[in-house]
Amino acid sequence: MREPGERGEKEVMAATLQAEKRTDKGKNEARRHRAAGRLPAVVYGPVTGGGSEAAVSVTVDPKSLSRILHSESGQNTIISLELEGKTTPVLVKDFLLDPVSHAMLHADFYRVAMDRKITVTVPVTVKGEARGVKQQGGVLDFVTREFEVECFPADIPEHVEVDVTELMMGQGVRIRDIVQGVKWTPVSDTDTMLVHVVAIKVVEEAPAAEAVPVAGATPAEPEVIKKGKTDKPEKEEGKA
């Protein structure tokens, strides 16, 4: 039985991507590559044997890369990048999308050494229905949906699963509660709350506005306008 986070070499290197080296630079050339159905990209990071190599500009098939990014392991997929007869394990470090069409415009690939630990961000998934929701009428609050871990490339988990079945009202799961028996070390604060069961907040509507008497105040009398009389006596006609 495979332990959490464990992967075989075949699974790790299953994703393969063909790359072509390019020497041109600039926005116009990048547009030309995209118009031809290729995605401009760059490869950088440490190389086998230690040290680092200057970044290499390449192009890849955007559809193939999109399929990898939409797989279960997503951006944490170890990709076997084939370039000029050599194969290099890489991760997608970053990618740029068009704000309107959402088409990929550029990608960054980071070389990884299979014998060196790296830091990656992994998503959190929830399993089960909390007892505090079914029996006590609470709601499940999904606080943290991803966090950082350190591990060898072969041990990058596709996701971290949190079983919430036994959670009652007021109970939750923190990162420190799920670190047993895994092949990764949390980089994020272990006190970080991932998910908990909370009470439903009911906001009562305020009643229609009514006159509320102020303590010690005398209710105001309605104003009455009396015709024919004023506060001062009027002068009689003919008198000085």
pLDDT of residue 39: 96
Q: So what's the pLDDT on residue 23?
A: 87
Kindly report the average pLDDT of the chain as a whole number: 83
**233 pLDDT more than 50:** no
Query: In terms of pLDDT, which residue wins out, 28 or 8?
Result: 28
Length in residues, the chain: 240
Residue 176 has pLDDT above 90, yes or no: yes
pLDDT band at 229 (very low <50, low <70, confident <90, very high): very low
pLDDT at 152 over 80: yes
The rounded percent of the chain whose pLDDT value lies above 70 is: 75
Q: What is the pLDDT of residue 49?
A: 58
Q: How far apart are CA 95 and CA 105, in angstroms?
A: 8
Residues 88-107 pLDDT 10s: 999 999 999 999 999 999 99
Nearest to 153 by CA among 179, 186, 118: 118
Instruction: Indicate whether 237 pLDDT > 80.
Output: no
3-state secondary structure (DSSP) of residue 153: helix
pLDDT at 127 > cutoff 50: yes
Contact 68, 15 (CB under 8 A): yes
CATH 2.170.120.20 correct for 119-198 = yes
Q: How far apart are CA 239 and CA 188, in angstroms?
A: 98
Give the pLDDT confidence score for residue 187 in this predicted structure: 98
Q: Which residues contact 215 (CB under 8 A, 6 or more apart)?
A: none
pLDDT of 196: 97
Map 157-213 to HEC letters. Answer: CCCEEEECCCCCCCCEEEHHHHCCCCCCEECCCCCCEEEEEECCCCCCCCCCCCCCC
Over residues 78-85, mean pLDDT: 94
Comparing 208 with 85, the larger pLDDT belongs to 85
pTM metric for this prediction: 0.70
What is the per-residue pLDDT for 17?
A: 96
d(C-alpha 172, C-alpha 190), whole Å: 13
- Please give the CATH superfamily to which domain 12-115 belongs: Ribosomal Protein L25; Chain P (2.40.240.10)
Cβ 13 vs Cβ 68: under 8 Å: no
User: What's phi and psi for 48, nearest 5 deg?
Assistant: -60, 135
Lowest mean pLDDT segment, chosen from 39-53, 130-144, 204-218, 222-236: 222-236
Ordered by start, the domain boundaries in the chain are 12-115, 119-198
Q: Residue 58: enclosing H or E segment and its boundaries?
A: strand 52-60
Rounded percentage of the chain residues whose pLDDT exceeds 90: 69
10-68 pLDDT, tens digit each: 344 469 999 999 988 888 999 999 999 999 999 998 876 555 567 999 999 999 999 99
| Distance, CA of 150 to CA of 148 (rounded, Å) | 7
Per-residue pLDDT at 236:
46
